[in-house]
């Protein structure tokens, strides 16, 4: 019975493009995104990219009360800080998973920073970037690698 349920949930998950790992307290990892080891995600569409922080990141941050958004038009570089989020009296830098020019930022986060917690992959997106080097994406992790990475980090304590 348990096996049938597990297979069913995997089938539903794969239809929804969600990677589900069958362990306790797993965070959501989406199959069609790429991931940085600093827990940011990027969705590539042609030469444009949308960036945010992952479910794992928002869980470990706590309730986000403020998001420092980058200025539209500025350059961002892979691995470099482009903004910050504040939660529980901690300001955490967020690093860009790709290099390029900021086209748009999610202004909703100024009024509703908690969107980063409630919807990290959809309404909590942070910026849209015009890519300057599509090849950089190769340096990022796919969903399986990122899931394993999160498991390894969480097992450290």
Q: Measured from the CB of residue 97, what is the shortest distance to other proteins in angstroms?
A: 14
Least Å distance between CB 137 and other proteins? 21
Residue 122 CB contacts under 8 Å (≥ 6 apart), including other chains: none
Residue 63 is a binding residue for other proteins (CB under 8 A): yes
Residue from the set 90, 118, 133, 134 that interacts with other proteins by CB under 8 A: 90
- Is 68 near other proteins (CB under 8 A)? yes
Binding of residue 156 to other proteins (CB under 8 A):
yes
57 binds other proteins (CB under 8 A): yes
User: Which of these segments, 22-30, 85-93, 96-104, 115-123, binds other proteins (CB under 8 A)?
Assistant: 85-93
Tell me the window of 7-15, 55-63, 70-78, 131-139 that interacts with other proteins (CB under 8 A).
Answer: 55-63
Q: Is 107 a residue that touches other proteins (CB under 8 A)? A: no
């Amino acid at each position: 019975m348990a096996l049938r349920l597990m297979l069913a949930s995997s089938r539903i998950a794969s239809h929804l493009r969600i990677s589900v790992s069958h362990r306790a307290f797993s965070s959501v990892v989406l199959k069609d995104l790429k991931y940085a080891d600093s827990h940011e995600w990027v969705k590539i569409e042609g030469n444009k990219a949308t960036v945010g922080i992952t479910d794992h990141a928002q869980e470990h941050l706590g309730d986000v009360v403020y998001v420092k958004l980058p200025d539209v038009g500025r350059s961002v570089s892979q691995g470099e800080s482009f903004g910050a989020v504040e939660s529980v009296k901690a300001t955490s830098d967020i690093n860009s998973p790709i290099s390029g020019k900021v086209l748009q930022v999610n202004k909703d986060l100024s009024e509703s920073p908690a969107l980063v917690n409630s919807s990290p992959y959809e309404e909590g997106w942070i910026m849209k970037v015009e890519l300057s080097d599509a090849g950089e994406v190769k340096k990022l992790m796919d969903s399986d690698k990122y899931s394993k990475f999160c498991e390894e980090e969480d097992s450290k304590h």
